[in-house]
Structure 1
Amino acid sequence: MNIGIIGLGLIGGSLAKAIKAHTDHHVWALDINVESLKEALAEGAIDEYRLSLGDSGQTIAADVVFVCTPVNAVYNTVKAVAERVRPGTVITDVCSVKGEELRRVSSEIPDDVYFISGHPMAGLEKGGYNNSSKDLLKGCTYLLLPDGAPDEKVEMLISLVSAIGARPLLIDPDYHDVAVAVISHMPHVISAALLNLTMDNDKKGILKEIAAGSFRDLTRISSSSPEMWKDVCLRNKKEIARAIKMFEDTLEHFRAMLEEEKEEDLAEFFLNAKNYRERVISCR
């Protein structure tokens, strides 16, 4: 197959490397960072690169196009690609928020071009092509949102995702943003909140000196791009706000148990968390 990747950052670069490592597909990439494109070409992560989509009248040869741009550019990029590809092409994204725009984009592109939204549940606190890896997506759950696409196109994308070592999982588009608000976005909110709380109370500069394993583990993800996470949170503000309310309720419940010294309830609280974490880990 001929596969295009638009946006050669952490995820786009990792996709390119994994596809070239595990398949014989032809891969081209488009990015504004010429140095990353040249590096990828030299490393064999891509077979060719381009610097623009060209005019709307030009045809882009591709069986599948992955849109791996920043969240605020995904919708317009999908529409621009759809105007230029051949009939039968599948366009997919890797965006962590779908929102109303991506849920309706299928109705705004040609009927013979198919948009199947995607979201690999993988990442690092550091972005960019230089941090990408052919193994980043290995074993990760890769969400796919078919939303009416033909079965054969969905199966083709499932096969490609499986070929690079990821685990495809079909999910309802309406449920996606609800689920990732809790499982992906809230950890960043909680990490940032804890760091801001610590900073505001570190008047003597001692707290940062004694921060050890548990604090560093819990706050590692706050080394991610602030700009990116600002955009993600605003795009999924409704579901994140709902998750924050549930988290506040959980903390309020814990505070009540603590103040009333309910030892058995406190032990059960931590035991339930421990047991569920073991179930989460066993899914990998």
Structure 2
Amino acid sequence: MKVVVTGAAGQLGQDVVKELEKKGHQAVGIDRSELDITVEADVLAYMNEVKPDAILHCAAYTNVDAAEENEEVAYQINALGTEYLAKAAKQTGAKLLYISTDYVFNGNATEPYETDHPTDPIGAYGRTKLAGEQLLQKHLEQFFIVRTAWVFGAYGQNFVKTMLRLGKERGEVGVVHDQVGSPTYTVDLARFMVELVETDRYGVYHATNNGVCSWYEFAVEIFKQAGVEVKVNPLTTEQFPRPAARPKYSVLSKKMLEEQGFTPLQDWKAALDAYLIETNEKK
């Protein structure tokens, strides 16, 4: 397949391009310099010229705090950009896979969110990503939406890198313990995305690594596996105020993924181990 990957210079996009090439597909990686997805005419012209078999849409405005101040910009990228890609996919007959987020939910649940659970974003980032889901579905009857959470990979800024940097600099860090979710390694997510787009099993999926932890527990495990002596202090969300509200509970049910016969992503601790080996941080 010829597959266009948006956001190909990003944390997830780079691993998606690698996985496509590993599986023998022709990956056409694009970032903002090649195509501004917020310009509809450019998106339609580009896709009509390239004529991909599939589009893996990883590009996004992901700065959760900045989105509160810049919701219009986030909307242009996350919502309108996705709509234009959906229109282009319809014109060219390409499959479209859109990466969405746990932030479409309010975080008040006490058990894992199913794919059909009512959405209720509590911030600008979640609102704009949900708008992307809705606009995509307005234009396409067949689509893949993959919601994920707590993403970390070798190529971008993420919680693991931040913790290792702060831990080495300070020897002590404070991390919230009352927000719970499932970390997601970009290599594992990319593998699932490519496996999914090779099929016609359309729909909304949740994909994170298996297992559940708090940010505090995640930090403790990072330092343990990396062999770095750091004192980790548990904080409440109230003790660590941020411009954007975070969902307290971000656990996504992988029932749809398993029912459709896909291989569940490995446990998050094993994924962290693989990541630390990949980035030469494993002690």
Larger Rg: 1
Where relative contact order (Cα < 8 A, 6+ residues apart) is larger, the structure is 2
Q: Would you tell me which structure has more helix in proportion to its own residues?
A: 1
Same fold (TM over 0.5): no
Question: When the two structures are superposed, what TM-score results if normalisation uses the length of structure 1?
Answer: 0.43
Question: When the two structures are superposed, what TM-score results if normalisation uses the length of structure 2?
Answer: 0.43
